[in-house]
Structure 1
Amino acid sequence: MIGSIVWVGIAHMLTSALTSAARETRRYAQAEREAAAWQAAQDAHLFEGRMRLAHTNRLAAPMLRRIADRGGALTAAQQAECRMLEAAIRDEIRGRMLLTDAVRFEVQRARARGMTVTLLDEGGIDDLDEATRNRVLSRLADAVAGSSADRIIVRTAAEASPVAVTVVGLRESVGAAADTDEAEVELWLEIPREF
């Protein structure tokens, strides 16, 4: 009788120990999966950063060489070209997924017409498939091309929103003092995720 009670006690302790070990194993496996996912995200971020840096280098290196060769003395046209290049580099950094060849072309044309264009990608269209994103960005390129605003601001919407991209075009108010921030809305466009 005493032997049976001892064996039941030992069996109960072994069962508890195995249950605890299984729980710890699941916890460590989950932690390992999270660590692997974090490492993959960091590697992807690093790779994307290197790609963007290489692209920026390809864009900026010729102009930087010209500036160095001339000792910083640039003509007005060269200064304007530098400003356009700096804006294009900023687009590559802040505009990320908003850029296609058509959008780049229309944004550059708008800037050449004297507009200020700001592209802000906050990750709102990262989840769109390529065909949908191309349709959205095609509408964006058309909107920029058709606008006569002085300033255009393009921003991705939140992922949960039915809107993918919001485009706002502002025109300086006629007769407003030069130091005021008053502007009229010339363009307000919300490009939906699905259409």
Structure 2
Amino acid sequence: MIVVPRLLLILLTAAISAYHIVLGVYTLGTPQSPWPVVVSMVLYAVATTLSLWPGRRQRMPAWLAAGDGAVSVVMLILVLNQLDPRADNGYATWPIAAVGTLMTIVVVRQRAWFAWSGVVVLALTVLVWADDPVALTTLGVVGSAVFVGVGQAATRAVGLSARDARLYERAARRAVEWHAREEAERSERGDRVRMMTTVATPLLERIVATGGVLDEDERAECLRLEAALRDEIRGRRLLDDEVRRVVSAARQRGAEVSLLDEGGIDELPDADRARIMAEIAEHIGGSEADRIVVRTGAVDDDVAVTVVGLSRRPDEEEDAVTLWLEIPRRA
């Protein structure tokens, strides 16, 4: 993509505007009186300077756009009233092109309504003065409208390109943040697995030493370790220190706990995930259910996580639902 420095564009536009003034000076002998033309040149120079003056904001202030429109009307009235519409005035009709240039500056600085209003006034003024529709083409009114249209299209294209660039930059930043978070969580899960492997090693050695003959407490401990390892693999972002603690406590009292992270909360901000983890820990810790299932929802679902608790009923085949919690994606 070719990038043209802003200062170079300003200087180029200033040169074109200065050319209109040079034409006005060159044809001072054509009007009936040169003084209205001189006043027009001064007004045009001031309006162009203010419109091209570098500033922080690209969008032109409304008062300046309205001022440019007023200057355009005054210029046309002062100069055209000094010319004979039936004569060949040559470059003495320079205000027509000058107004086109000024309105192009206005539209580039994101004041399209003012710019097109100026073009309409230009066309009506020339039409009334010349009393001939052909003059709209021969005196440059159509060309001025084309320049304003091209300026508006170019401004819109640059605006869209800038917006797309910002979107790409934001997406790239999010991708980097997501990758860093993934790496951190993968490292943390690895540390957890290594820690649990260290914890499980004595039990494994005990199994080997006894030939697989374990008492009830040792069997229960093996099952809890297996479930904890499974949590690290399948639970993913459903786990933090507090959730691990309450899940371990639930299993020690005999409950069966399943954590299933299917990627539904991967894109949530850290604050929302912390809130969800706190609610999961609170309800698991306060539940007496015999079986607890925690599952993430779909990415486009309003519910981030569903927690279901089931309790056995001695006299019935089906378990009773004693806990049903839907944690919203947003607080």
Shift of 1:59: 4.3
Q: Do 1:115 and 1:150's aligned partners in 2 also have CA atoms closer than 8 Å?
A: yes
Structure 1 or 2: larger strand share?
Answer: 1
Structure 1 or 2: larger helix share?
Answer: 2
Q: Which has the higher contact order (CA 8 A, sep 6+)?
A: 1
Query: Which structure's CA Rg is the greater one?
Result: 2
Q: State yes or no: 1:67 paired with 2:207.
A: yes
Instruction: List per-residue Cα deviations over 1:15-36 (Å, max 9, x = no partner).
Output: xxxxxxxxxxxxxxxxxxxxxx
Give the TM-score normalised by structure 2: 0.42
Partner of 1:123: 263
Shift of 1:68: 1.6
Distance in 1 separating the partners of 2:315 and 2:309? 19
Q: Determine helix, strand or coil for the equivalent of 1:168.
A: strand
Partner of 1:23: none
Q: Determine helix, strand or coil for the equivalent of 2:267.
A: coil
Q: State yes or no: 1:103 paired with 2:212.
A: no
Identity level (%) = 51
RMSD value, Cα: 2.4
Distance in 1 separating the partners of 2:239 and 2:253? 19
Partner of 2:319: 183
Q: Do 1:59 and 1:89's aligned partners in 2 also have CA atoms closer than 8 Å?
A: no
Q: How many residues align?
A: 149
- Counterpart of 2:201 in structure 1: which amino acid? A
Q: Do 1:168 and 1:185's aligned partners in 2 also have CA atoms closer than 8 Å?
A: yes
Q: Determine helix, strand or coil for the equivalent of 1:164.
A: strand
Partner of 2:138: none
User: Where do 5+ consecutive residues of structure 1 fail to align?
Assistant: 1-36
Q: Determine helix, strand or coil for the equivalent of 1:117.
A: strand
Shift of 1:53: 5.6
Distance in 1 separating the partners of 2:237 and 2:200? 21
Instruction: List per-residue Cα deviations over 1:133-162 (Å, max 9, x = no partner).
Output: 111001000010111111111000111111
Q: Determine helix, strand or coil for the equivalent of 1:111.
A: helix
Instruction: List per-residue Cα deviations over 1:70-124 (Å, max 9, x = no partner).
Output: 3222111111111111111111111111111100110111111111111111011
Alignment of 1:119-158 (within 5 A): 119-158=259-298
Give the TM-score normalised by structure 1: 0.68
Shift of 1:126: 0.9
Shift of 1:174: 3.6
User: Where do 5+ consecutive residues of structure 2 fail to align?
Assistant: 1-174
